[in-house]
Amino acid sequence: MILNEQIEHKGNAFPTKIIDFKKDVDTLYFSSENGVILQMTILRDSMFRFRYATGAKFENDFSYAISHDAVRGYNKLEITEDIEKYIITTSKLVCYISKTDLRSRIYDAIDETLISEDELGFHWEESYELGGNIVKMTKSSPNGESFYGLGDKAEHTNLKGKRFQNWATDSYAFGRYTDPIYKAIPFYTALQNKKSYGIFFDNSFRAYFDFCSERRNVTSFWAEGGEMNYYFIYGPKMQDVVAAYTNLTGTPELPPLWALGYHQCKWSYYPESNVKEITQKFRDLRIPCDAIYLDIDYMEGFRCFTWSKDYFPEPKKMVKELADDGFKTVVIIDPGIKIDLEYDVFQEGLEKDYFCRRADGPYMKGKVWPGECYFPDFTRKEVREWWAGLFQELIEDIGVKGVWNDMNEPAVMDVPGKSFPNDVRHDYDGNPCSHRKAHNIYGMQMAKATYMGLKKYNYPLRPFVITRSAYSGTQRYTSTWLGDNVATWEHLWIANVQAQRMAMSGFSFVGSDIGGFAQQPNGELYARWIQLGIFHPFCRTHSSGDHGDQEPWTFGQEVTDVVRKFIELRYQLLPYLYTSFYKYIEEGIPMLKSLVLFDQEDTQTHHRTDEFMAGEHILACPIGEPNAKGRRMYIPKGTWYNFWTHEQVLGGDEKWVDADLDSMPLFVKEGAILPIYPVQQYVGEKEIEQLTLDIYYKDGKEESDVFEDANDGYDYTKGRYSLRHFTLTGKEGKLTIKQHKSGSFITSYETFKINLIGLPFEIKTIKIDSEEISFEDLKLTHRTFEITKNFNQLQVIG
């Protein structure tokens, strides 16, 4: 590991004075006397890209992370200079580039406050052993600055004072502080003086981040190869930084609604009779579930794209019968292809030379579940297309609806480091390289190839893919889970902060192995984990069968009833979750928000870990210790309603909240309108005949949305969706709700059931579009009534 002391003193080289400057539309080039070139690109008024070359020549500009659909463009660009510096001005930022050493300083263009400043700035060290440069950047960090993001780290949400490594790693039974683990997402957000900026270091080599760990007022990032290539993104709101990064690296398409239901998984459910027994028990006990997973034992000798004739003699028939009962079948596919000349996938890969090779020519051979294997080079387009084609039988013929990519860090069992050696070669889409560069994107490209196959053979329905390993941008293709965790209370806490961090790192479609993968939880821990898990976008119980059963009914009647209650709540909230997913796609808004992301103005939120926002309106906080009858939690500023009791609570303080085993602390923001579906055993079991709107009164104004479509397929991309935008305005003795609908999709229901919560006056009159409606016609009962879905304005008058 390279220490900051070494960064300063061990053979470092630095840019010297600028001798040339030129401008090419939105890109500026600053050339130094010793051959360093800074290429600065103005992507937006609030986003700059900094890229440095040390030999007067840049590498081919290629990135797997950047989305082709990323928004570019700015309103203002002025370049001036004085004796000391070049001055680049946009409508939001002013950047100084020092003429003596290329160091940068960036200011808010409005109030001229300093946002970011290079300390040593860019420098490098030539790697004589491996070739190329170790590229480094250090920046000054003022007192009080906090840092967030960096993807999948089992740490406190605030990264201040910590150091991390980005190297995708199979980390079975990892613990708090284990680093690195499964994903490498080199993006972080900083917050100081109530202003936020982000840094995305787009370099796929092994990289390091130091957040004032070694030196109190210095933060640094560096990589063991490649270029110093990073994006500076300014808010000043943290949510805008995250949204801009998410737009830069891309968002997924909408998942099918069933993918947001509850899923059940285990290593492993087999044979077929065991799968049927599990699925039947879900239906018998009336516990909603949409998907059942098959782990590696469904295959013939762990060979990918095969079925065990002993365990699953008629897979197509079984998958059809499961589908008839409302279960989608999801299967695992790993990257290791068994070396077996009788195995057609291996034969074809060998014949077409699709497997990774070592530097001197032999194929990369490693032991995983099938034994000795070769591994496809997913960085080749033709290999991804071949891999996608292998899914035809699974998806188109047999009827599997989802695929789960595991072991794709890549993980290898009998090699030092548990992965490919550095000398393995990859095509990198026409940019040949060693595994040092390709390692962190290997899982991403496997997930992309899998996504391509499902999209092709599941068409016209939407694909559903899960990956364990990821790099920035992987969210365009797949969901993810948080790896092989452990059934402990500590891991319940870890799962909570990991999911929050992934969401603020652009990857919202995330969840943990509910209950823990390794070892076995007791009933209380499992119930508490379900309570957390129903608010994660990906909601799946997964466990290792080595440690016992882990289905919802495993822990006795009391726990079964609690688990059923919360899974039912998940299904009631499906339109709310679906709407949150839509806003994530359209606006880059994380589906989960740490409190600091929700209210960065409040310094009390900067170090909170447990509490989070699920969507725009629900505040959740899991119970994280045994035998608890409640907990203390911080409730953000504003007025909130206790979800269970409807009691109003004034935020901005830490409070005790009662929560016995059958409850958890949940609050709803005042003014919210929550869409509620009836409980279903699986998505599509019932036609939705009426949408319930739970309306939480506010003295003031609040906005809410409800997005609906056909729950699958691509008609929504052609305008066949229903997006209802509600504006609630509460005044003394009057509540007004205005609705604006866009999209051409016509929902199956014709009416809303209105539940008015916290209304501070007795209802005397109800008007719809200025016409008074009788209480009898509205079926008014206390503060619940029915109205047509197509109203423009609803007025409730006291």
Rg (CA), the chain: 27
Helix/strand/coil (H/E/C) assignment for every residue in 254-285? CCCHHHHCEEECCECCCCHHHHHHHHHHHHHC
Q: Which is catalytic among the residues 145, 484, 694, 705?
A: 484
Q: Which is catalytic among the residues 202, 290, 406, 712?
A: 406
Q: Is 406 a residue of the active site?
A: yes
What would the two tokens of residue 299 be? Answer: 């295959």
**Residue with tokens 């069968």, as numbered in its chain:** 545
Report the candidate in 198, 199, 164 with the shortest Cα–Cα distance to residue 183.
164
Work out the number of other CB atoms within 10 angstroms of the CB of residue 372: 13
State which amino acid sits at residue 791: F
- What residues are paired with 514 via a beta bridge? 541
Cα–Cα dist 289/327, whole Å: 7
**Residue with tokens 């402990």, as numbered in its chain:** 488
**Phi-psi bin for 144: left (phi > 0), alpha (psi -120 to 50), beta?**
left
Helix/strand/coil (H/E/C) assignment for every residue in 706-726? EEECCCCCCHHHHCCCEEEEE
Report the candidate in 498, 567, 486 with the shortest Cα–Cα distance to residue 525.
486
Answer whether 44's CB lies under 8 Å from 109's CB: no
CA 148 vs CA 218, 238, 423: distances in Å: 16, 10, 34
State which amino acid sits at residue 654: E
Report the candidate in 198, 114, 201 with the shortest Cα–Cα distance to residue 149.
198
What would the two tokens of residue 154 be? Answer: 């089992």
CA dihedral 400, 402, 405, 406 (to 10 degrees): -80
Residues 6+ apart with CB under 8 A from 203: 135, 186, 223, 225, 226, 227, 228, 229, 230
Answer whether 517's CB lies under 8 Å from 486's CB: yes
Work out the number of other CB atoms within 10 angstroms of the CB of residue 489: 17
**Pairing between strand 262-264 and 539-541?**
parallel
Q: Which is catalytic among the residues 295, 409, 551, 610?
A: 409
State which amino acid sits at residue 56: A
Q: Is 409 a residue of the active site?
A: yes
Q: Is 295 a residue of the active site?
A: no
Residues 6+ apart with CB under 8 A from 473: 64, 65, 66, 67, 249, 250, 444
Active-site residue list: 406, 409, 484
